[in-house]
Amino acid sequence: MDFRPIEFEYDKNHFARPATQIVDRLTLNDITSDTRPSVVSNSMETIKTDRGPFQSVQVPNGWHQTVQRIDNTGQMIKMSAAGDDKGGFLGICDRGRSVGEASATAFSDLISKNQDIKAVKVLLPSQIRDLEQVMGYTSVGDNQFTNSNKYPSPRAPVFSLTSAQLINVNRHTVLEVQGNFVDANKTPVNYFRGIFIQDSKDPQKIQEFFAQAPNSSEFTKTESVYRDALKTITW
């Protein structure tokens, strides 16, 4: 795969690419219980963010959280059920670098024209292409709408996009994308659903909140937690 080094991004496993150094990994909660909490739990824990447009989100109590600091500027908070390091997880991602001015403007214009939406608004292919950098050149943004290379070419898209729409999350319009990270044969290797949020103070900064899992059964459970968590986001 010829990764375009224009922006810092994550690979299909949502970890920093080799060119980006992870400088540390901080464990916030060292939970070793073998009992996996129910993904539908009435007991929720608030996760506060120290950067980005949203302030906090709630996940099931007892979930394990780690912070990955990337290239001295980026950060991802990874949250998963205790004892489940290889299953589905939720992530809060700050790439640490800005998108281009043109991409930021396209995203700003789209959001400003849809600030009061009451229902999901599906994006047009042209709008998806305009947001390639917002979604990530070498991540979710590298999809069949932005990359015409065919499988099994090594330059084929790393992401198969199934939906892209604007949604309202607690009176804020955000971009939501769903699909699969795929291998050279277009076989899913990670299932993904997440939102992309523009920082009102710095429109070139993008924050992500997403669910990801290695198979469909794990994703079904993780996606349920993701949907509940969206309702708890505070700005």
pLDDT for 127 beyond 90: yes
Asked if residue 225 belongs to a domain, the reply is: yes
Mean pLDDT, range 4-17, rounded to an integer: 39
Longest dimension (CA), the chain: 48
Strands in the chain per DSSP E: 22-27, 44-48, 56-60, 64-70, 74-80, 89-94, 121-122, 159-169, 172-182, 188-198, 206-213
Asked if residue 5 belongs to a domain, the reply is: no
Q: How far apart are the C-alpha atoms of 205 and 34, rounded to whole Å?
A: 38
Residue-number span of the structural domain to which 106 is assigned: 22-230
Query: pLDDT confidence of 230, banded at 50, 70, 90?
Result: very high
Asked if residue 17 belongs to a domain, the reply is: no
Asked if residue 14 belongs to a domain, the reply is: no
Q: Per the structure, how many domains does the chain have?
A: 1
Q: Which residue has the tokens 């959280």?
A: 65
Asked if residue 8 belongs to a domain, the reply is: no
CATH number at residue 158: 3.40.1000.10
- pTM summary value: 0.81
